[in-house]
Chain A
Amino acid sequence: MNTAISVSGLHKSFGRTHALDGLDLRVAVGEVHGFLGPNGAGKSTTIRVLLGLIRADRGDVTLLGGDPWRDAVALHRRVAYVPGDVTLWRNLSGGEVIDLYGRLRGGLDPVRRADLLARFELDPTKKGRAYSKGNRQKVALVAAFASDVDLLILDEPTSGLDPLMEDVFRGCVREERERGRTVLLSSHILAEVEALCDRVSIIRNGRTVESGSLADLRHLSRTTVRAELRGPGADLADLPGVHDVTESEGHVVLQVDNDHLDPVLLRLAEIGVRSLAGSPPTLEELFLRHYRDQDTDAPLVASR
């Protein structure tokens, strides 16, 4: 596997705060990698280390085969970055900022620039503060997608975008993947990561708690079963691996660990099934599982 980003045992503290506490991250060339975590988990700090803006206290970091601190400028020719909170110069128009970033990355594709402006419905003649938060975000996105780079680092890039624009954004990310580019997408919007990412790393308190493909992660989790039954389903709760059973007027909703599905299905068949729906766990559920139980070793209590 060709590696675009490789981070292991990364530590960084600011005074007494340990922002990163042994974080690991591996992103393969050509994949869209989801970088998930709640606010303050250390996502932006990791990205700032990757960009050579801050120096790691300890740990190994390799970006596109180079040292992000030492080789920052050379590496940045191949990297485009979209910050989570874009601030613009108040006396520069959006078009000027896009061109400036493009020039600082060694040029950008004018056709693609025009196409992106149209797709994002962005007026490039407005200045700094005249843009709303979403539009400031679009300025940075257009600049990033229009430049010819190998790696895109996007830090919560859709904050402030409306659903239509999120759609445009997803289209752009898919195009980048088709062109063989690597994307590191930091987010706490799970639907976005689910829709776009090949693999995911979940971090909490500066440490990686889970990493793998969505399929890998799902197998750790449960299936939500919704069924309309012919008889009472009260005893379903007694089966092993079953959680959170709710029943009303013959409708049952429950969650079951995936390796305990068989007995649940057998029992449902015994009671008699009018209709049945099973859904894989959403990333939401994976996420909740990681953050709900963070400080206790108590068994998982699912939310629904």
Chain B
Amino acid sequence: MTAAVLPLPRGGARHLTGTGTLIRLALRRDRVLLPVWVLVVAGAVSGVERSLENLYGTGTERAELAADMNANGSLRALYGAVFGDSYGALTAWRIGGYAALLAGLMSLIIVIRHSREEEETGRQEALSAAMVGRRAPLTSALATAALADVLLLALCTAILLGAGRPVAGSLAFGLTVALSGLVFAAVAAVAAQLTENARHAKGIAGAVLGVAFVLRAAGDAAREAASAGSHPLVWASPLGWAENVRPFAGDRWWVLLLPVGLVAGCVALAYALADRRDLGAGFVRPRPGPAHAPASLAGVYGLAWRLQRGTLLAWTVGFAFAGAVFGGIADGAQDIVGDNTGTRDLIRRMGGHPALTDAFLSTLVGMLGLICALFTAGSVLRLRDEESNGRAEPLLANTVGRLRWAGGHLVIAYAGPVLILAAGGLAMGLSYGITAGDVSGELPRILLAALAQVPAVWVLTGLAVLVVGALPRLAAAVWGPVGLVIALGWLGPVLKLPQAVLDVSPFGHLPKLPGTDVTATPYLWLLALALALPTAGLLALRGRDLD
């Protein structure tokens, strides 16, 4: 009997054998995740596009909006510079940066999920034992992300064309979003080669995304309002490139060559690294650990600290970095008044320069608070991760009650935001204090303002505890409300959403610090919620079956 021999491709193509099957596997696994991401991003674009048309109906209103936004450093930091006052240009300004950021986040998650995560869990080993080429896993991961980005390109372009915007600008917008996604897909492909740990790989790629955002924000805040050219910091950031394509305001196609070049470079690097390593291995060799546990690993609290301290440290350093950068540019807020001495005097008399800088600082502090919600949600979800991966079960078979087990991780979920925001506030206060020449005056004010965000963050911590306790199967859905709160905080004010909608977010109830009086009432409500939600969640956790 002769065995049937399948024809094998020769040359380089044999490394790609099985890519198609792996892509189908990835699409099958992501059948919910991928459409949700694409629809959320496209939905945001569509929503912003429509609201702008409703809110700023006349050319005068749009010109005023553009001028106002460009005049204020904090708003430029948040949303980027405005390059025109057409509907299209305003849409690109308002949502283009976020669409690019979200596309990047989506793409990096998809790539790590289908490359390093598959290797770490050992699933890739079984797949690669079949007729799967050496380069097929990375190729299929990149292709899946690329497919999602192409969908975004098509949807964004179609939405803008459907609204009657010019073809060139619509296409430039779509390409900008899709290419930003691809940039971070390629960055993630490199990160996935470096470390054996998928969580670390996501962290590395996420840090690149975060730095890109901070550079873009700082550059836009520091740019001189009058000049047309972007600050060098903006040019150093892939998200800054996205802004500088300027859809509907010049459509600078050549800028798109920058992300294309970076994608090509990163993908080539990723393949070169992948060819030089073993399956499952990274380039950072894991060192052996101690034969005996240190005294600090004494119980569930020590364990939770051990498991989460790396993440906590990374967030703390990241916030200190962002705080220092933002604090350093805050002094430039006075520039917005321009050179007109009369105006400057007028504003100064009204409480002017300090008030404007405070507005800037409070906006940035609020931004740190919103981002901090991501940390706390992730920290609480560690509980679910431990449970569903079978690591909680043997722990709970010891003399560990469920509440104490949960307590170990919750201490970090609750204390972490305090530490992270303190680091951000401290760095911002220090760097603003130094530039303004008043460290002892500014530092405590800004630190306090940063810490004042904590109760709002805790409400989301509590919500996450409630979901993990009561609806463990839906634990990942916690990201929904967290994303909504961040979106409301970020987009809500300019979209002039009704107060009832803005009130959904706990951050909407915080006083604008520094610069306003603190009232106790909102804090009492937030703290009451921050206590009630986790209490209900822990009661549910105690009464339910463990997965």
Residues of A within 8 A of B (CB): 48, 51-55, 72-74, 76-77, 79-83, 85-101, 103-106, 124-127, 129-130, 140, 153
Contacts and interface: CB of A to CB of B under 8 A. Distances in A.
B299 interface: yes
B546 A125 contact: no
Mostly helix, strand, loop or mixed at chain A's interface?
mixed
Given A85-B390, A87-B389, A106 B289 contact: no
A73 B290 contact: no
Contact of A79 (B286, B306, B310, B397): B397
7 contacts: A79-B397, A87-B391, A89-B303, A93-B291, A125-B289, A127-B288, A153-B397
Given A83-B390, A127-B286, A101 B398 contact: yes
B439 interface: no
Contacts of B390: 83, 85, 87
A127 B289 contact: yes
Contacts of A126: 288-289
Given A83-B393, A95-B291, A55 B297 contact: no
Contacts of A81: 394, 397
A191 B395 CA distance: 30
Interface residues of B, number: 35
Contacts of A153: 397
B8 interface: no
B120 interface: yes
| Most interface-central of B289, B294, B391, B393 (chain A CB within 10 A) | B289
A76 B399 contact: yes
| Most interface-central of A80, A86, A104, A130 (chain B CB within 10 A) | A104
Given A95-B289, A104-B399, 14 more contacts: A55-B545, A76-B400, A83-B394, A88-B391, A89-B303, A90-B120, A91-B197, A91-B306, A91-B307, A96-B293, A96-B297, A101-B398, A126-B289, A153-B397
Contact of A72 (B120, B286, B401): B401
B298 interface: yes
| Most interface-central of B291, B389, B401, B545 (chain A CB within 10 A) | B291
Given A95-B292, A96-B290, A96-B293, A101 B394 contact: yes
Given A77-B399, A104-B400, A125 B288 contact: yes
A95 B391 contact: no
B307 A73 contact: no
A89 B280 CA distance: 17
B289 A96 contact: yes
A216 to B, nearest CB: 31
B448 interface: no
B504 interface: no
Interface string B262-299: 00000000000000000010000010111111100111
Given A48-B546, A95-B289, A95-B290, A129 B120 contact: yes
Given A89-B307, A129-B120, A51 B290 contact: no
A42 B120 CA distance: 30
B412 to A, nearest CB: 15
A86 to B, nearest CB: 7
Contacts of B393: 48, 51, 53, 83
Nearest to B288: A125
B40 interface: no
A21 B286 CA distance: 47
Interface in B189-219: 196-197
A126 B286 CA distance: 9
Contacts of A106: 399
Contacts of B546: 48, 53-54
A73 B405 CA distance: 11
B139 to A, nearest CB: 24
Interface string B116-150: 00001000000000000000000000000000000
A221 B540 CA distance: 49
B14 to A, nearest CB: 29
Nearest to A125: B288
B300 interface: yes
A149 B292 CA distance: 21
B280 to A, nearest CB: 8
A132 B298 CA distance: 26
B293 A100 contact: yes
Interface string B286-325: 1011111110011110110011001000000000000000
Given A89-B391, A93-B288, A101-B394, A73 B293 contact: no
Contacts of A73: 399-401
B286 A104 contact: no
Contacts of A51: 393, 396-397
Contacts of B286: 127, 130
A85 B122 CA distance: 14
A109 to B, nearest CB: 14
Contacts of B398: 76, 101, 104-105
A92 B197 CA distance: 13
A103 B300 CA distance: 10
Contacts of A89: 303, 306-307, 391
Given A91-B307, A125-B288, A103 B293 contact: yes
B291 A76 contact: no
